[in-house]
Structure 1
Amino acid sequence: MVNLTHPAVDRVREALQLHGLDPEIRWFDDAATTAVAAAAALGIPVGAIANSLVFTFTAPGQEPQPLLVLTSGAHRVDQAWLGTRLGGLVGRASKELVKEATGQVIGGVAPLGHPLPLRTVVDEALAEFPVVWAAAGHAHTVFPTSYRELLRITGGEPGAVSAPTPGV
């Protein structure tokens, strides 16, 4: 195993430690920017990958705010449905907004270690797996956790965010 360092990964490690956790952060030789790639590298089902996706959420009469959605790698977020569920509109975030809100780049966004707390929704489908894997701030990194830990360390709202992706 390669033991590397990166400022975003260091921030994730520090955030995990603040929550009393010290999981092994695994470094891949190649970037794992998709749930399929990460699952293949780990030899696990794609559904056990916790994708950290940043969207915008716009409540009526308000400015858009970043929204972090942690979804199972086997699902896609239904933006219209989720927006209705949350009482507003959910839209795609630009790569600039993702970087600004998380301090991390698309493909390596972790569920924590961001400059400021983000409103977070956690896909209840992740509860099906005793261990789930999330990016650790860089496209070459992941760490093991659980659905319950994701809820605790992010202050996330549990619930459905998507429907199963056909063929996965």
Structure 2
Amino acid sequence: MEGLEKVVGYLRERGIEVKTLVSDQSTHDSTSASKVFGIKLSQIAKAIVFDAVGKAILVLISGDRNVNVNRLREVVGVKKVKLAKPEFVLSNTGFVVGAVPPVAHSKPVKIYVDKSLFRNQIVYPAGGTTNSLFEIELEKLLNFINGEIVDIGQPMKSGV
């Protein structure tokens, strides 16, 4: 539960109290999180880490959307962007794949927020473990993550 405590502590230090949701089942992807907790898939705020020529970037996107990597590449302004490998994710965020929250990273990470999240007032990002989420108003979250709002989502299909 160390990851969840880190996330809750980070938020608390900034004056934000959140409701946490913890399950004995894995919620490492948006579909399983939606099913386990009975939350609309669009309310899951999935955090996907990409490797942009050695620089970690995080995309926060609605659980019912995928990232259009070509659009992401254009937004970031690099020729190559790829889904980060698990060890890259861990070393740059301090969290394992499937547990990455939008806050409390071990290193500064550039965050891009897809406009798809704006369909929801309340969102549920990962809580720092592969079986936890936290509930937060999107506006509150946006106030302190310093994310750039972008339009890089596309309808879900297999992949990211």
User: Structure 1 length normalisation: TM-score?
Assistant: 0.87
Cα displacement (A) at 1:30: 0.4
Number of equivalenced pairs: 157
Structure 1 residue aligned with 2:132? 141
- Which residue type is aligned with residue 53 of structure 1? I
CA RMSD of aligned residues (A): 1.5
For 1:120 and 1:85, the matched residues in 2 are separated by 12
Structure 1 residue aligned with 2:7? 12
For 2:144 and 2:58, the matched residues in 1 are separated by 13
For 2:47 and 2:112, the matched residues in 1 are separated by 10
Larger Rg: 1
Q: Do structure 1's residue 34 and structure 2's residue 29 form an aligned pair? A: yes
Quick one: structure 1 residues 116 and 28, their matched pair in 2 at CA, closer, same or farther if it must change by over 3 Å? same
- Which residue type is aligned with residue 54 of structure 1? V
Range 81-90 or range 46-55, more displaced: 81-90
Offset from partner CA, 1:119-151 (integer Å, 9 cap, x none):
000111111111110111001110011322232
Structure 1, unaligned runs of 5 or more: 1-5, 59-63
Structure 2, unaligned runs of 5 or more: none
The counterpart of 1:96, out of the listed 87, 95, 106, is 87
Stretches of 4+ moved more than 6 A in 1?
Answer: none
- Which residue type is aligned with residue 52 of structure 1? A
Structure 1 residue aligned with 2:145? 154
User: What SS does the corresponding residue of 1:125 show, helix, strand or coil?
Assistant: helix
The counterpart of 2:69, out of the listed 79, 87, 92, is 79
Mapping of 1:46-125 within 5 angstroms?
46-58=41-53, 64-88=54-78, 89-125=80-116
For 1:122 and 1:130, the matched residues in 2 are separated by 14
